[in-house]
Chains A and B, each alone.
Chain A
Amino acid sequence: MVGKEESESAKDGEEVRIGVYVCHCGLNIAGSVDCEEVARFAETLPQVALAKDNQYMCSDQGQELIKNDIREHKLNRVVVASCSPRLHEPTFRKACEEAGLNKYLFEMANIREQCSWVHLHDRKAATEKAKDLVKMAVAKAALLRPAEEIEVPVIRKALVIGGGVAGIQAALDLADTGYKVYLIEKEPSIGGRMAQIDKTFPTMDCSICILAPKMSDLGHHPNIELFTNSEVVDVKGHIGNFHVKVLKKPRYVADDCTACGECAKVCPVTAPNEFDVGLATRHAIYTPFAQAVPSAYMIDMDLCLNKENIIVCDKCLEACERQAINFEMKPENVELEVGTITVATGADVFDPSSLPNYGYGKYPNVITSLEFERLINAGGPSGGRLIRPSDMQTPKRVAFIQCVGSRSDKSGRLYCSNVCCMNTIKDSLLIREHWPETEIYVFYVDIRAYGKGFEDLYKRARKEGVIFIRGLPAQIIEDRKTHDLWLIGENTLQKDLYKANADMVILSIGLEPRRDSETVQRLLTLSRTQDGFFMEAHPKLRPVDAATGGIFFAGCAEGPKDIKDSVTQASAAAARAGILMAKGKVTVEAITPLFDPEKCTACGLCTKVCPYNAITLDKKSKRVEIVEAACGGCGTCAAECPFGALTQKHFTDEQILAEIDAVTEEDAEEKIVAFCCNWCAYAGADFAGVSRMQYPPNVRIIRTMCSGRVAPKFVERAFARGAATVLVAGCYPGDCHYIDANHHTQKRVEKLWKKMERHGLNKERLQLLWASAAEGERFASKIREMQTLVEKVKPEEILAAKKVFEKALGEV
């Protein structure tokens, strides 16, 4: 290995001088790792010119230290052992660049998320592991090559998906900054959930009164092109250059429509109106609500009597003076080129009919909070009169039940939906305001009034006589004659049982991820948390960025929020997207393939596995062409090439093999060599660290961008060097950040399993794991499980594997 390094450096004609910095991160690392000892150890490693430990490497002072040393000690490689590269790699790369060192000559050892935090109580083992991790990083660093990034222009146009208040705000901000914006909304009108709500908390503003002007601004904005009744069906490309296909479904009413409403008057068919949650009717030709934007009617073809090519009923056609109705309209495919995408797809509401004890869907007077909003709204089905559905009378006793579909094992939704407590308090005050005689009960678990002005509102509600009872009803029973309701449960503060009577019960339903989230996730290669909402790139420091470049989140798509938070996040997302577009160009990471034409036999295997079709083969000239701008950087081509003609920059075969060799240099027979993809498995391992999940310390993680980069020879090398077990971990099939590159991971692992079986090896020693970025526990338990496996592997099995894979030792 050393000989190899010498030849590498000989090429450049310069000696490799590595600087190693071990960060204490306060006590985050130093609490369970002896950082000074790690630094002393690093100094003994080959080609290390100096090694230091420091309180906070990411601080200005820490960065200055690196910069000075690069200049003073002529360092030409830098290794920082600290947190995850997913967090601070950009910080240190920048510091290196500022000192004149190419940023690709920097390497990181993750001794916090993947060491100190997961081995809190075993200082000795954690220190040993940290040393190993530094050794791996140094081995890789010695082989790092400087690289130049290519620049790609960013299209100065933005796409916003979803026209709720978050989407509207993001689109307006972007358009006001001066960018062209396309807004795609699935429903016939923009407005989203906020348009359905009567009043907003804590100020009691009329919801539609403050939203409608924004909707109208958006409709008239010269920089915004609005597509309603439309869906995104395909997204290709990458940061700065997305190619988006939109399916624009026909409205069957042309833009000439003046929304006079004559057509709806004569339309003979009716159905429940979705906007009023089915409490009011609409016709087949309709506009969802009075303030809809675009202010135009449309025809629901599922309801209309006319079917394709058969005009059965032409009443609306005859009623329309402007002759705007056209049954011949066809769906249109629109193709857009945009630089950034803001995902503001919103949330769905929980359907309480899955909880039989509350009788929703069976008892007419049990309603949801969303139905209540429509009932109490002046533009709603009852004209703003509080009535109960069974007899249209104003109820005298009303009960609210909180946390329906939130914070509950039963419904499977463990999270707090954020808005329901305040929404109920607001609703109770609205009832109090208009019908002061009504008795109001709120059954709750905890009241969460955490925001600005929230506590005041809560106090006001209590002062005005709203009765709060802690303990949710176990069951609701209906009096069949009167349709009155009885709520039975336990008051957990007084530890006694209650049986309360109410004329109407309002279920405060939670928010849940949209049912079509999976489609959006696939289209844009996003991640979702365990709750099902979209996952941000970093929970604290990059809360509106998606892990995929050029994509941002606004509103409830990322997690339940109220209107204020949605608007705030939307403005933030617009600013983040604006930064990209203002620059007008973005650099593509230099992790594209390196091609050696001499070794290439023009077999074409690489062209078949490339998810981006970035590699083409000219059969005549036997030449392989690589389009760098189209390359996503997964490295699966390099793993596929049987002749070593392709490798991936910054993740070269030599570098990864050097890491494997470093891991297996000592005590290989006790170790787990883990290959983790950057986006899911490595991030999941980081998440296990952030959550302080403890697992055995003998795992060593080697990061690749995609699990598709893991060539069979890497696994073979690990076994040939005596590793006890090997783990290959990546994103779930279908969640791959490189479209489908991890399909090849599976194929390669299966092939290796067969080979192991053929040679009488225990194939369990090679494990394949799919784990998402949110599944820290899944990763941790896999390591625990593999630890028991490591203990069972006998020395003769290690020897046998060494022999079977002997050939892998000759690689590179």
Chain B
Amino acid sequence: MPVRMWRQPLDIEKVKRPKAEIHIIKNQCKGCGFCIQFCPQNVLEESEEINERGFHPPRVIDENRCVLCSFCTSVCPDFAIYTVEKACKDGC
């Protein structure tokens, strides 16, 4: 059905989407970039920051994009990243 869809869906507010908290343990990171490369939602990017080990740890672009698939945790060889579902306040 090739109708151009340009509107924001009317029920967008009602759709439950998990809210994520992304935790990066910067000093544990060795800058391999797996989490950045494999994130399906492109939530992460390399930062300019240099950690204790002399690497660039990742940085969150937009936390709202994260859907908590936790693939970053799975691929990280250094256990340096994990996600937690945000406790739902004010009826989200």
Contact = CB atoms under 8 A, between A and B. Distances in A.
A287 B69 CA distance: 22
B38 A370 contact: no
A275 B38 contact: no
A278 B40 contact: no
B87 interface: no
8 contacts: A268-B68, A270-B15, A277-B3, A280-B11, A312-B38, A313-B67, A349-B3, A389-B10
A349 to B, nearest CB: 6
Interface of A: 187, 268-270, 272-281, 305-307, 310, 312-313, 315, 348-349, 351, 353, 361, 364, 368, 370, 381-382, 387, 389, 392, 515
Contacts of B86: none
B7 A278 contact: yes
Given A268-B18, A281-B15, A312-B40, A364 B68 contact: no
A338 to B, nearest CB: 27
Nearest to B3: A277
A273 B7 CA distance: 11
Count class of interface residues, chain B: 20 to 34
B7 A305 contact: no
Q: Is the interface of A mostly helix, strand, loop or mixed?
A: loop
Given A268-B67, A389-B10, A392-B10, A278 B41 contact: no
B3 A381 contact: no
A312 B3 CA distance: 31
A364 B8 CA distance: 10
A118 B7 CA distance: 53
Contacts of A382: 10
B5 interface: yes
Contacts of A270: 15, 17
Contacts of B9: 272-273, 276, 278-281, 381
Interface string B1-22: 1111111011110010110000
Contacts of B15: 270, 281
Contacts of B2: 348, 515
B10 A279 contact: yes
Interface in B1-56: 1-7, 9-12, 15, 17-18, 38, 40-41
Interface of B: 1-7, 9-12, 15, 17-18, 38, 40-41, 67-69, 71
Contacts of B68: 268
Contact of A381 (B1, B11, B69, B71): B11
B7 A389 contact: yes
Contacts of A274: 1, 3, 5
A369 to B, nearest CB: 12
Given A278-B5, A313-B40, A361-B4, 5 more contacts: A272-B9, A278-B9, A381-B11, A392-B10, A515-B2
Contact of A281 (B3, B12, B67): B12
Contacts of A268: 17-18, 67-69
Which 8 A-B pairs give the minimum distances between C-beta atoms? A278-B5, A268-B67, A305-B40, A313-B69, A312-B71, A281-B9, A381-B10, A272-B5
B69 A305 contact: yes
A555 to B, nearest CB: 15
Contacts of A278: 3, 5-7, 9
A301 to B, nearest CB: 12
A311 to B, nearest CB: 9
A305 B10 contact: no
B15 to A, nearest CB: 5
Contacts of B71: 305, 312-313
Contacts of B6: 278, 353, 361
A547 B33 CA distance: 61
A634 to B, nearest CB: 35
B92 to A, nearest CB: 15
B41 A370 contact: no
Contact of A280 (B1, B4, B10, B40): B10
Contacts of B40: 305-307, 312-313
Contacts of A349: 3
Nearest to A283: B15
Contacts of A305: 40-41, 67, 69, 71
A526 B82 CA distance: 58
Contacts of A381: 9-11
Nearest to A362: B6
Give the interface centre of A278, A310, A389, A515 by most chain B CB atoms within 10 Å.
Answer: A278
A268 B40 CA distance: 12
A228 to B, nearest CB: 14
A218 B7 CA distance: 34
